[in-house]
Amino acid sequence: MPDHKDLPLTGPEVGSLWMTYQKMTMLLQMMKHFAQTSETPGYHQFLAGQVGEIQSFAEEIRNIFTGDGIIIPVGFTDQDVDLDAPALYNDVFGVSWFRIMTKVMMGMSVLHLGEATRDDVISYYERNLTYAKKMYIASTKLLMENSAFAPGPVVTPPQEVEFVQSKSYMSGTSLFQKTRPINTVEVLYLHQGIEINQVGAELMTGFAQAAREPDVQQYFARGKNLAYSCIDTFAAILKESDIQPAMSPWGRTTRSTRAPFSDKLMMYCTNLLSGFSLGSNAIGTSFSMRTDLPMKMTLIAAQIYDFAKDGGKLMVKYKWMEEPFQAEDRAALLKT
């Protein structure tokens, strides 16, 4: 393979690095606040330790772009965080939120690694993926050690292998036949939906409490209600099969109304998690073998999509949405 200095970045590589830069700079500013305001020794050490790591990932993208003569995106800067603001969330929530973000990082790193061809970009996403996996394990362990995390619901251990004998296995809610209990694959994605939306609901609570613009504040309140609706739907399906949903003490929003983050940053974070929730929902739908579950999850996905779309409109209204780098407009160049 030729040395990367002899190869230009491809369009997919530029796009993936641009997306990663937005995410990493947002993550950096939020982690600065969590580290600044954390008081519990174990949590503080963990949160503060991530700031330098995340900063180095953002800096590496800047170096790659500079080396290829590409302008540096704006992303999120020190102007998007108020380090003098009191804690908006407690320590448990800061670690819980970061744990969810490591899931986002793992998924995106695999996706971007699959499109990378230049050795420095491949190396970047390999390190990014390794870091995300390591921090997912570390954050999960930290929360469990402090009784701040509940693993997924437990089911009776299977004793034999079975094969589907009837088409009724794939039937959902019906007036004429009993619905089968959900299987463990379906439990997996329902539990993940509850987990994501628990963190999302608390995140939206704090964002709504601190947002500066009234319509943005209303948008976050709508997001909180949507997250609770998703939790109720997924939990009800589990309870129908006598499975008690695992609800973790994810941490709480404080009484502070002083925004530690800019409305722009909070809107981007919400948009990012909405996209992750849509992707998770789609995967869960594709692996479900009971016809009523995809229907319910599709209805939820439609609500999340509308929510994300309206968020995009708000970001455009306030000029907060940074454009990804564009391909050349050849028609306009010809006219010139």
Mean pLDDT by 10 residues, the chain (336 residues): 72 96 98 95 94 97 96 97 96 94 94 95 97 97 90 84 74 59 88 91 96 97 96 92 80 94 98 90 79 86 95 96 82 72
pLDDT, position 168: 66
* Domain 6-145 of CATH type 3.40.50.150: no
pLDDT, position 170: 64
What distance lies between CA 182 and its chain's CA centroid?
26
Q: Where are the domains of the chain?
A: 6-145, 175-317
CATH number of 175-317: 1.20.1260.10
pLDDT, position 4: 60
Tokens for 252, please give them. 């709480």
- Domain 6-145 and domain 175-317, same fold? Reply is yes
Question: Would the pTM count as exceeding 0.75?
Answer: yes
Alpha-carbon distances, residue 245 vs 187, 188, 232, 262 (angstroms): 9, 11, 10, 34
